């Protein structure tokens, strides 16, 4: 029988949107499956493939994640050694951890940056955290902080300060896919007579949404806001310019001259 991926965030991370580890069941209360059900599951796995690939491997970070969970539960500040995306070397940061969340099998730490004069909430990819040091310094969790409400305002992980109404028309070619997959809590889909779908979203930021829409190519057209339309047009023009400068012969030369690692 094929097991679930052991290198996913679920291997040692908490349940999404939760900072408290689930209680362990005793052996007496562990439910027993009928022999017939087990045989059925064994046979079923012959026809189902579960990929063991994950965006990041967390098995080596179980102790680190446990420390973060302890800090969240006890409201204790932590020093984290963090490798940011653009920095050449990792650096220590003091943070007040609020929660661990899973977004598309990528684990993030949601924490307050105490260096800011106002409450500044930031996100840290757990795979980029190299070390965690628990402190005895406690902090007061914001009374009005609601994790679900906080996450509902974003399309993915990035947060903004705006309240943006987005309208997109999806062509009939991709209408079925759009109707089958709910992408956000605010999503409103309306079927059109020509087979297309008019979609509306209300978000605090368009950063991740723009990338998602671009993945549909010409089958998705942003109707509003104008600022998002301009952002997408600029992105398409930039990509076109890059491809125009890169001829087929240039690509082949770059490939052959690339040093081996």
125 pLDDT above the threshold of 80: yes
Range name among 107-111, 129-133, 151-155 with the lowest pLDDT average = 151-155
Q: How far is CA 81 from the centre of its chain?
A: 21
Q: What is the pLDDT of residues 164-217, one digit of tens each?
A: 999 999 999 999 999 998 899 899 999 999 999 999 999 988 988 999 999 999
13 pLDDT above the threshold of 60: no
pLDDT in the model for residue 95:
97
Residue 25 pLDDT class (50, 70, 90 cuts): very low
pLDDT in the model for residue 72:
96
**235 and 211 Cβ atoms separated by less than 8 Å:** no
Range name among 41-45, 106-110, 250-254 with the lowest pLDDT average = 250-254
Residue 57 pLDDT class (50, 70, 90 cuts): confident
145 pLDDT above the threshold of 60: yes
Share of the chain above pLDDT 90, in %: 50
Q: What is the pLDDT of residues 241-259, one digit of tens each?
A: 888 887 655 665 665 565 5
**Structural tokens at position 25:** 């069941």
pLDDT in the model for residue 223:
97
| pLDDT (mean) for 66-70 | 96
**Structural tokens at position 203:** 């978000």
- Please report, for residues 15, 41, 193, 196, 218, the alpha-carbon distance to residue 189 in angstroms, rounded to integers and kept in the order given: 30, 37, 13, 10, 19
Nearest to 214 by CA among 197, 193, 239: 239
Range name among 13-17, 81-85, 245-249 with the lowest pLDDT average = 13-17
Nearest to 81 by CA among 71, 89, 73: 89
pLDDT in the model for residue 253:
65
Whether pTM exceeds 0.75: no
| pLDDT (mean) for 53-57 | 62
pLDDT in the model for residue 249:
55
What residues contact 93, with CB distance under 8 A and at least 6 apart? Answer: 79, 80, 82, 113
pLDDT in the model for residue 153:
81
18 pLDDT above the threshold of 50: no
63 pLDDT above the threshold of 80: yes
How high is the mean pLDDT of the chain?
82
Q: Give the helix, strand, coil percentages of the chain, each rounded to 5.
A: 35, 25, 40
Out of 52-56, 76-80, 243-247, the most confident range is 76-80
């Amino acid at each position: 029988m094929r097991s679930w991926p052991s290198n996913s965030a679920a291997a040692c991370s908490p349940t999404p949107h939760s900072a408290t580890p689930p209680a362990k069941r005793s052996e007496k209360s562990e439910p027993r499956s009928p022999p017939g059900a087990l045989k059925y599951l064994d046979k079923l796995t012959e026809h189902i493939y579960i990929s063991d690939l994950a965006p990041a491997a967390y098995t080596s970070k179980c102790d680190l994640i446990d420390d973060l969970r302890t800090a969240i539960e006890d409201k204790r500040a932590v020093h984290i050694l963090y490798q940011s995306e653009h920095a050449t070397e990792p650096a220590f940061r003091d943070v007040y951890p609020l929660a661990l969340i899973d977004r598309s099998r990528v684990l993030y730490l949601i924490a307050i940056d105490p260096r800011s004069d106002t409450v500044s909430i930031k996100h840290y990819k757990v795979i980029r955290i190299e070390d965690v040091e628990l402190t005895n310094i406690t902090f007061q969790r914001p009374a009005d902080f609601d994790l679900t409400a906080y996450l509902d305002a974003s399309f993915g992980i990035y947060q903004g300060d705006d309240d943006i109404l987005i309208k997109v028309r999806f062509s009939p070619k991709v209408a079925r896919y759009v109707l089958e997959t709910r992408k956000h809590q605010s999503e409103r889909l309306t079927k059109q007579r020509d087979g297309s779908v008019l979609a509306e979203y209300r978000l605090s930021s368009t950063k991740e949404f723009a990338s998602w829409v671009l993945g549909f190519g010409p089958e998705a057209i942003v109707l509003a806001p104008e600022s998002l339309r301009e952002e997408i047009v600029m992105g398409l023009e930039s990509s076109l310019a890059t491809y125009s400068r890169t001829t087929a012969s240039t690509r082949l030369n770059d490939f052959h001259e690339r040093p081996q690692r």
